[in-house]
Amino acid sequence: METVLTEGGKMKKILKNMLENIRSREITVVRKTVLPMAAMTLTFAVTMTGCVKDELFNTPHPDKGAVVLDIGGLPGGDGYTVDIDGRTFETTGSAFTVPDLFEPGTHTVTVYNRPEGFSVEGLVARVAPLGAAVRAADGLIHPLPGYLHSGTRQIEVTADDSLKVEMSVSQRVRDLHLELTVTEGDPERIASVEGTLSGIAGAFDLAAQQTTGEAVSTAVEFIRTGDRLTADARLLGIMGSKQTLLLDIVFTDGRTQTTGSDLTDYLKDFGNDMTEAFRLAGDLNTPIEAEMSATIDNWQPGNGGGEDADIK
């Protein structure tokens, strides 16, 4: 039996078909939109995961750098100080990992020891003054301080890295051996001889690696063995336009004499090699008559120390 649709029934069927077409199109649009978006999201997540992997750091300090020092030339067993841009660290041995971290860029490293007879302040090492009990005079420095060593260099620190630095230090003092032979007069009449050496350096700039300040003086005591008088000093170097040696001689009869000698020309090469002792030998003429004065002449500079050293 054929169903006859009224006008109202036909209209309902048309509307139903239209709604079904609209739903079908919406599903298609959703599929076309949501699936690509999901794929894009997954791709982004994978990409981001790859970026995080690329940003892994080499050290626990990604924004700063570490410094590891290997120092050569320091006396064995001595403690020393490492100064980096004013920050100081005390340590021993030749290998040292600096405990602090540093900003990327240029930094200055200075290494030095602290031997007896020196004080260090503001990267200036100064020879200690001579004790009043030894010689009651103002302005004299210790004649035999310890062996000062130092070195400095600039480094380039990189963030997220450890910089290995090889450093060397040099000896900053030199031994001076003075020797006088009594060539006139009786050496047995000499009770004591004290000398004052002037025109020497008393301070060393550890950053600039050179002597600094004004010329100073030191006292040396001569020891007599037969006809020879010897004295030793350890100096940062000579300073000023003139170097002189002044001797105060006391004789066994109580008489005293003072005599001096200009050493400027003989000490001009004193700073050439700080590791080998510098020897300076001369003749001492003591009075054989009451009205005569003691004199020093025939100076000969050379290298080495002790009585058996050869004059060059």
Distance of CA 170 to the CA centre of its chain: 10
Q: What is the pLDDT of residues 177-209, one digit of tens each?
A: 999 999 999 999 999 999 999 999 999 999 999
Residue 15: the pLDDT is 56
Instruction: Please tell me what DSSP assigns to residue 236.
Output: S
Determine the Cα–Cα distance for residues 113 and 82; give it in Å rounded to an integer. 9
pLDDT beyond 90 at 263: yes
Determine the Cα–Cα distance for residues 20 and 262; give it in Å rounded to an integer. 122
Element (H, E) at 17: helix 7-54
Determine the Cα–Cα distance for residues 42 and 37; give it in Å rounded to an integer. 9
At a CB cut-off of 8 Å and minimum separation 6, what does 42 contact?
Answer: none
pTM greater than 0.85:
no
Tokens standing for residue 135: 């010689």
Distance of CA 300 to the CA centre of its chain: 35
Residue 288: the pLDDT is 84
Determine the Cα–Cα distance for residues 219 and 194; give it in Å rounded to an integer. 7
Over range 34-60, report the average pLDDT: 56
Highest mean pLDDT of the ranges 37-41, 44-48, 283-287:
283-287
For residue 108, the cross-strand partners are: 154
Determine the Cα–Cα distance for residues 80 and 91; give it in Å rounded to an integer. 6
Residue 22: the pLDDT is 53
Name the phi and psi angles at 24, rounded to 5.
-60, -40
Buried b (16+ CB within 10 A) or exposed e, 119-138: ebeebebbbebbeeeeeeee
Hey, is 62 helix, strand or coil?
coil
pLDDT beyond 80 at 271: yes
At a CB cut-off of 8 Å and minimum separation 6, what does 200 contact?
Answer: 141, 215, 216, 217, 218, 235, 236, 237, 238, 239, 243
Between β-strands 118-121 and 87-92, what pairing exists: parallel, antiparallel or unpaired?
unpaired
Residue 79: the pLDDT is 85
Residue 243: the pLDDT is 98
Give start and end residues of each alpha helix (H) in 55-175: none
Q: What is the pLDDT of residues 142-158, one digit of tens each?
A: 999 999 999 999 999 99
Residue 92: the pLDDT is 87
Instruction: Please tell me what DSSP assigns to residue 159.
Output: T
